[in-house]
Structures are given as structure tokens and as C-alpha cells.
């Protein structure tokens, strides 16, 4: 194949499948640090949130703070109330991103994940390297939420869309459950491992997957009460990424260091390496596109972001070369 034709085909293939279709209901945000070009410096050349336009261009969004790791929008706020987690704490906008305010004090640092309660949208939760936080006013103020936790480090959490106040928290020492809106925590029957990512199935909320440090992936089919190992091939791996296809709960994805992308199409019974076509097998984030059924996004360590429409059989360049990705989040578009 000659080069121009190959380029043309690549361009066509890489065009979003929705091009020309109805406007998507969600907007993709990437929380990243630009570390690839970081030389003789302790800070990345850029960092923060980037949002992807339909033409594939990424545009910076929100405060240009260091260590931005997550973004959530308060349900029912019509996109007005946005929370961002970063090294300095939680930053909140009450006007759709026009202005921002840090809503935590000096005690809070290194926010790794945020979530609004599944039923009560005034309640929000944060996982930080120094312990979890809870808010009862939509993220305007925060309180420590450490009761019942022997170790405070946490970097991932998920709420329950069906039950208010039910939160699963991934800590340094396994997964903890709160049923009282993070006032107290109790340990689940989960592995004694540092939990790096929790993902819940939108198709079947009883199903969750956990990615761990050096203990591989774990699956729960009872809403997080108990967990069992899955994917023996990555059982000792450092897995940073986990995702479940909202359109098909049998489609699971895992990613990690030197592991690449691993896919299960049968609810975790079998797994396949789907890293071919990616420039590197170091994966930090995986996320399914809620608007394009089956589209999986993957963020590598510094080698770019990619998407696949065939569960990883082929990959397409999604931009953000040089980025160290922390999260890829689809938020509802406000119209």
C-alpha cells in the first residue's frame, strides 16, 4: 500500500463513528499530566483536564492546576456543579466552569477520585492519598470520613446508583464498604491489596471489577460484598485500569503496567490480550464510550490515547501524546 493511501485510510478509520450522526450525549474529559517532555524538572510541562471536540482536538478545560485526576458533575445540576480533584484538593465550579473555587482546606491533598452519591446528589465523596472525604452540600464543603479505616490511603471509589449512601472504597488494604454515606466503613471480603481502580457495571450494577497492585483483577457479582480473582494471566500484575461496557455488561477491560489491554467478552470467564497496535503496554486508564457502543478508550503512559471499536482488535490514535493519564470520563452534555 502506498503511503498517501495508507494515510487516507488511517484518517478514515480514525474518524469517530458518530461523525455525521446525532450529537453525542456525552463529552469526553481526560485528566492528564504532560510528563513525556519533563526533563530535569519535578513538574510536568502541562497538566489538567482536556476535553475532546468532535474533530478530535483536545482543549484544556478548568483550572490549570497540577495533579488533576478526576472530574464529576453533580446529577441534576444541568452541568453547573462540577468537581475536580487535584493535588491541591477539591476544586468546584457552580456555574458550569466559568469560575472555580477550592473547597478544601490545607488538610486535604492529593485527591485521586471523586463521585456523587447514586441517589442523593447533595452527597459527594472523595478518595485521597490521605484518606476519604465526604460532602453533604454538593462539594461546597468537606469533612474527613475515616471512621473504621485502619489505613487511610485510597485512590478509587464507586457509588451505587440504586442505594443512597452506599459507597465502595479502594484502599491500601482492600475494599471497604459504607452504607451510611461514608460516615463509617467496614471491610469487604476483598483481597489484601492496594486497590488501584474500581469499576461498576452500568448494565448490571451488581457487577464490579477491581484492579490491584500486584494482585491482579478481582470480580464481584454481589454488589461488592465478596470478590474473586479473575484473569489468571495478570494475577500478579499491577493493574491500574478497569472498565465495563455500559452497553454490554459481559465486556470487561483491564489494563496495567507491562500488561497492555486485556479484554473479556464473557463476563470475566476468559481473557485475551488486546495490546497489538498499541505503542506500549503500559496502560493507566480504560473507559467505554457510552455514546458509541463498544468503543473502548485507553490511555497509555506518555505514548498517547487510543480508541478501539472492536474490543481492542484494532486501535486508533486518539491524541494526547506525551500524557500520563489518570482518568477518562464521559460527562453528560448540557444542552
Partner 1 sequence: MHRLGATLRTTVGSGGNVRVKCENEISQKSWLKYRKNPAYVYILPPLLLMTLKLVCPRLIMVMAIGALAGQIGAATPVCSPTDLPDAEIARRFEARREAVLARATAVIDPAHPTRGGFIEVAACLQQGAHREAALARLAQLNAPMPDLNMFWMFPMAAVMVAGHDGLDQASWDRIQELWRVYWPSRGDTENHWCLYYSSLYLAAQTMPGAGPEKWFNGKSSAENMAEAKSYLEHWMWVTTTHGQGEYDSPNYIQEYLIPMSLLTGWAKDDAFRQKARMMLDYLIYDYAVENVDGYYGGAHSRVYPKQIIAPGNTPIAAIGWLLFGFGEQIPDPANTLIALSGYRPPPILERVARDRSRPYVERELKRTRWRLRNAGPDSFAIGDKRTVPVYKYSYVDADFVLGSTQGGLLQPIQQQTWSLTWRTDTRVQDAANTFFGVQPYSSPLEGTMFFGGDWDTVTDLIARSKADYDSEDKLPGGSPYEQVFQHGTALIALYDMPAHNRFPHITTFFSRDLVNTIEDSSGWIFTQGGAVYIAYRPFAPGTWKPNDWTGLLRRGTGGFIGAGFAQWGAGSRCYVSDAPRNGYVVQVAPARDFASFAAFQAAVRALPLKISTAAAPEATFTALDGSVLHARYGDTPSVKTKPVDYAHWPLFDSPFAHEIRGSERLEIRHGAQRYRLDFKRTLIQETVSSAQP
Residues contributing to the site for partner 1 (CB under 8 A): 35, 38-43, 63-67, 87-88, 91, 99-102, 105-106, 109-110, 112, 129-131, 144, 146, 151-153, 172, 194, 196, 213, 238, 240, 257-258, 282, 284, 301, 324
The least distance separating partner 1 from the CB of residue 232, rounded to whole angstroms, comes to 21
Q: Which is nearer to partner 1, 100 or 321 (CB)?
A: 100
C-alpha to C-alpha distance for 176 and 92, rounded to whole angstroms: 26
Bridge-based pairing state of the strands 252-256 and 260-264: antiparallel
Q: Which is nearer to partner 1, 64 or 162 (CB)?
A: 64
C-alpha to C-alpha distance for 98 and 137, rounded to whole angstroms: 20
The least distance separating partner 1 from the CB of residue 80, rounded to whole angstroms, comes to 15
Q: Are 52 and 319 in contact (CB under 8 A)?
A: yes
Q: Which is nearer to partner 1, 45 or 228 (CB)?
A: 45
Kindly state the cell numbers that stand for 109: 491533598
Residue 180 CB neighbours (<10 A): 13
C-alpha to C-alpha distance for 238 and 185, rounded to whole angstroms: 25
Q: Which is nearer to partner 1, 140 or 265 (CB)?
A: 140
Contacts of 55 (CB under 8 A, 6+ apart): none
Q: Which is nearer to partner 1, 119 or 146 (CB)?
A: 146
The least distance separating partner 1 from the CB of residue 46, rounded to whole angstroms, comes to 10
Residue 217 CB neighbours (<10 A): 30
b/e sequence 14-35, b meaning 16+ C-beta within 10 Å: eebeeeeeeebeebbbbbbbbb
The least distance separating partner 1 from the CB of residue 219, rounded to whole angstroms, comes to 22
The least distance separating partner 1 from the CB of residue 272, rounded to whole angstroms, comes to 22
Amino acid at each position: 500500500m502506498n503511503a498517501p493511501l495508507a494515510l487516507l485510510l488511517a484518517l478514515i478509520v480514525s474518524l469517530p463513528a458518530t461523525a455525521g450522526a446525532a450529537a453525542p450525549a456525552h463529552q469526553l474529559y481526560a485528566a492528564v499530566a504532560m510528563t513525556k517532555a519533563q526533563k530535569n524538572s519535578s513538574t510536568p510541562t502541562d497538566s489538567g483536564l482536556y476535553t475532546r471536540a468532535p474533530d478530535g482536538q483536545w482543549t484544556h478545560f478548568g483550572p490549570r492546576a497540577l495533579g488533576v485526576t478526576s472530574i464529576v458533575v453533580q446529577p441534576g445540576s444541568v452541568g453547573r456543579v462540577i468537581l475536580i480533584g487535584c493535588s491541591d484538593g477539591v476544586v468546584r465550579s457552580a456555574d458550569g466552569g466559568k469560575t472555580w473555587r477550592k473547597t478544601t482546606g490545607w488538610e486535604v491533598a492529593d485527591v485521586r477520585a471523586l463521585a456523587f452519591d447514586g441517589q442523593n446528589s447533595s452527597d459527594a465523596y472523595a478518595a485521597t492519598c490521605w484518606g476519604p472525604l465526604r460532602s453533604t452540600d454538593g462539594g461546597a464543603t468537606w469533612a474527613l470520613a475515616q471512621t473504621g479505616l485502619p489505613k487511610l490511603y485510597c485512590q478509587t471509589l464507586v457509588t451505587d446508583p440504586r442505594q443512597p449512601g452506599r459507597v465502595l472504597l479502594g484502599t491500601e488494604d482492600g475494599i471497604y464498604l459504607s452504607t451510611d454515606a461514608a460516615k463509617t466503613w467496614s471491610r469487604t471480603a476483598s483481597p489484601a491489596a492496594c486497590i488501584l481502580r474500581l469499576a461498576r457495571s452500568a448494565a448490571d450494577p451488581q457487577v464490579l471489577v477491581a484492579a490491584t497492585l500486584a494482585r491482579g483483577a478481582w470480580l464481584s457479582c454481589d454488589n461488592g460484598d465478596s470478590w474473586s480473582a479473575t484473569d489468571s494471566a495478570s494475577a500478579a500484575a499491577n493493574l491500574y485500569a478497569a472498565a465495563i461496557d455500559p452497553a454490554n455488561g459481559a465486556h470487561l477491560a483491564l489494563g496495567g503496567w507491562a500488561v497492555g489491554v486485556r479484554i473479556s467478552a464473557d463476563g470475566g470467564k476468559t481473557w485475551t490480550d488486546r495490546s497489538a497496535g498499541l505503542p506500549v503496554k503500559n496502560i493507566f486508564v480504560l473507559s467505554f464510550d457510552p455514546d458509541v457502543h463498544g468503543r473502548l478508550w485507553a490511555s497509555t503512559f506518555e505514548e498517547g490515547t487510543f480508541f478501539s471499536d472492536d474490543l481492542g482488535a484494532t486501535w486508533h490514535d486518539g491524541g494526547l501524546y506525551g500524557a500520563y493519564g489518570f482518568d477518562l470520563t464521559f460527562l453528560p452534555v448540557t444542552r
